[in-house]
Amino acid sequence: MTNILCGEEVNYWMTSRSSADDWIDKTVKLLESFGGLDVDWVYGKQGAQSAYLIQFELLETRYKIIWPVLESKTGNIRAARVQAATLIYHDVKAKCLTARVLGIRAAFFNYLMLPNGQPAYILQAEEVYEMLPKMLVSRIE
């Protein structure tokens, strides 16, 4: 049996007076100030599931963040959206700091956009091992 995580069980639940769009705009500005180009975002909903998608480019490499909006036990969609947008902002802010020390690719690797348009985090370990040499060679050449 799968234990489904609800928004009320995660940090930043109803802790902000800002809207979800305000948090996403802060994230976009943060990425742009860090050198991000072509930063675009969208919020999508299908049935009971919804998510934010943010795409951007750093140093000629495309990245894609797909972040789910956790369902609320009480049906508070606004709070769930604000929580997701807040989590995205803090995640990106931490990755920007990490990138200053370890480099952009190391910090944002899980959001690396693969040639098929999917983010790297969906890969199984075997697929990563298979693709890694090709990825490293393309950056060296």
Count of structural domains within the chain: 1
**Within a domain: 53:** yes
- Tokens 């995580």 locate to 5
**Within a domain: 2:** no
63-67, 101-105, 133-137: least confidently modelled range: 133-137
* 132: pLDDT strictly greater than 80: no
Q: H helices of the chain, where?
A: 20-33, 77-102, 104-108, 125-140
| Contact call for residues 18 and 88 (beta carbons, < 8 A) | no
**Within a domain: 69:** yes
- Find all residues with CB under 8 Å of 27, minimum gap 6, and list them: 41, 54, 85, 88, 89, 92
* Centroid of chain to Cα 86: 11
pLDDT band at 3 (very low <50, low <70, confident <90, very high): low
Mean pLDDT rounded to a whole number for the chain: 87
pLDDT of residue 121: 78
* pTM of the predicted protein model: 0.83
Structure tokens at 128: 């990563």
pLDDT of residue 133: 65
* 7: pLDDT strictly greater than 60: yes
**Within a domain: 37:** yes
Residue 73 belongs to domain spanning: 7-140
Q: What is the 3-state secondary structure (H, E, C) of 53-89?
A: EEEEEECCEEEEEEEEECCCCCCCHHHHHHHHHHHHH
**Within a domain: 1:** no
Interval 37-44 mean pLDDT: 95
pLDDT band at 141 (very low <50, low <70, confident <90, very high): very low
